[in-house]
Structure 1
Amino acid sequence: MTRARLVRTVIRHSRREPVRHLFAYRSYSWLVDLDEMPTPGWLLRPFAGFAARDHLGDPSASVRANVVDYLAGQGIDLRGGQILMLANARVFGYVFNPLTVFWCHDDTGALRCVIAEVHNTYGERHRYLVSPEANPVVAKQFYVSPFNPVAGRYRLRLPVPEDRLQLAIALEEPDGRTTFEATVRGLVLPATRRTVARAILAHPFETWRIAARIRWQGLRLWRRGLPVVPRDRRLSQEALS
């Protein structure tokens, strides 16, 4: 199974206004070195698929090659350093990754940058290039929730996971109000056959369930009267470029 790791997570979302809405659920994600992608046996293979087409870049290249190519366009050369990826795997051919995180190190082991790749339910993707400082801030540039405009900024906490994963994202409106927060926390475990099997038994068809859960929460907000913000298709096309 290589040195891949599994993260048993608890994901929490908190919307403060104009409608207060909170939910939390348990899940799991994979933490992998892009030079050592998981190679599960035939029994677990349907639950642990990874493909370049699931992320931005050339679908015929490797995930690592696409990340390196993107960074080169930003003037960053890792010189062969390690890239760690936190993502969901394909389960029976389907995957949905609301957030994929890449921790990009250079050949000395220093963290050069972090990439936060966001996917929405419209099949669109966008990358945020994040500095390695402790609490970076990036301008919001991508349509995610149908109830939020593309405005404001994200405050991020994306430390490199060791034995625990602790991610946090807060959306600040242009006037400084924090209206939405999300956290992903969990225990990092070796991806042994036993660990993977237990995660699959606890959360079968998990990536299908993640997509369904997001749509269900959106429906709940819509029924409570939260207005939908029209999607700017021009921004969507720019996000995909």
Structure 2
Amino acid sequence: MEAVYLLCYVASTTITSSLLSLALAFQSIRLFFCRFGSPGPEVGGREGDGDGDGDAAVWLYEGRVHHARRRPVAHAFEYPVRYALIDLDRVPQPPHLSADRAREIAHTNGPVFLLTIPANMGYEQNPLSVYYCYEVAEDEGREEVGPAPILRMCIAEVTNTPWGERVSFVFCPGSDVVAKPLHVSPFMDMLGNWCMFADAPGEDLSLVISVQHPTLGNYFTATLRARRVHSFDSNFLATYFWLMPHKVAMWIYWQALKLWWKNVKFLDHPKYLSSRYRDDAVLRDRELLSQNAGQSKILPNCTSNMDFKGRWCVWSEAPWPWS
């Protein structure tokens, strides 16, 4: 039944994306005549501004996502992506966390930046968005000079369309291990742990998630490598994210169909097997935290946010991707 639901969702997404894409021509005409009639958020790296990124509210990144599965069958693919890194103190992004809420969760006091693919043509597709939460010296605040803010904590926001669920949890940048809290693929069970890596965004950024499974071992890795875009003009900005969410959805579901064709076992959502699957994930994560206690290479800087009682982790219903 779930396989039929997934196929129906892929078909509906394809049809809706095709219809909305017809509006691109009309949208381009409108933008041509009333382009940027009102000032928007300042974007880092604008051509002719030099570096100037310290005063920007939004930075643009372009890169590639690579997925590699090693068991039970070998399967790998890669696709291009475009992201925005947004200063949430200057450009709030509903329905995401506010900067103040992110600081409260992460126990930090500095800037908060959100890495995400903005909605486009009425559609949003973000399998993973990341909040980068920085710490500044108490006596310096966010004033001009002084020590540079330190990336202290990250918050992952994982959405599992087509099931319409979202989980948000803290993880320590550099390296962390999190018990898998969400059914994100019909070809993976809930027993794996997510090994998370994130560096502080600069000229380049990296995100790596590998899955450690009790029987399959390190059998899956997802990687994002991106580089900051510096030279562009307003015409470029108007089209930078056009159909980006739609393309991500199509690439993901096309690869799901290929896995199904390779006879990889299709797994039902764990909620059909146990209503306590989220509680089980929390218990497994507490065990991980207990095992990793005192290992600074695993949990550096995270003692104020996570202890044996568990890390901050919240499940919610994801907003409907079409708006």
Greater share of residues in strand: 1
Q: How far off its partner does 1:141 sit?
A: 1.4
Question: TM-score normalised to the size of structure 1?
Answer: 0.80
**Aligned equivalent of 2:171, options 105, 112, 130:** 130
Structure 1 segments unaligned to the other structure (5+ residues): 38-49, 58-62
Matching of residues 196-235 of structure 1 within 5 Å: 196-197=237-238, 199-200=240-241, 204-233=242-271, 234=275, 235=277
Aligned residue number for residue 12 of structure 1:
66
Structure having the larger proportion of residues in helix: 2
* Amino acid across the alignment from 1:199: Y
Partner of 1:46: none
CA contact (8 A) 2:129 2:158 kept: yes
Counterpart code for 2:99: R
Q: Distance in 1 between matches of 2:158 and 2:229?
A: 24
The amino acid across from 2:315 in the alignment is A
Residues 85, 100 of structure 1: 8 Å contact kept: yes
- 2:126 paired residue number: 97
CA root-mean-square deviation: 2.3
> CA–CA distance in 1 between the matches of 2:107 and 2:71?
41
Q: Which residue of 1 aligns with 2:107?
A: 77
Within the candidate set 222, 226, 229, 1:186 is matched to 226
- Number of corresponding residues: 212
Aligned residue for 1:120?
A: 160
**Quick one: distance in 2 between partners of 1:128 and 1:151?**
18
1:23 aligns to 2:105 (yes or no): no
Between Structure 1 and Structure 2, whose CA radius of gyration is higher? 2
Output one character per residue of 1:127-186: Cα deviation in whole Å (capped at 9) or x when no partner.
221123x22111111110111011121112100110001111110102471111111011
- Is the 8 Å Cα contact of residues 141 and 151 (structure 1) preserved in structure 2? no
Partner of 2:158, secondary structure, is: strand
**1:156 — aligned with what?**
196
Contact 1:6 1:195 in 2 (8 A): no
Structure 2 Cα separation of the partners of residues 166 and 102 of structure 1:
13
Deviations 1:12-68 (A, max 9, x none): 11011111111111120101111122xxxxxxxxxxxx7422x4x6xxxxx324424
Mapped to 1, the partners of 2:156 and 2:164 lie a distance apart of 16
In the alignment, which residue of structure 2 is the partner of 1:44? none
SS in 2 for 1:239: strand
* 1:11–1:185 Cα contact (<8 Å) kept: yes
Amino acid at match of 2:197: R
Name the residue aligned to 2:94: 52
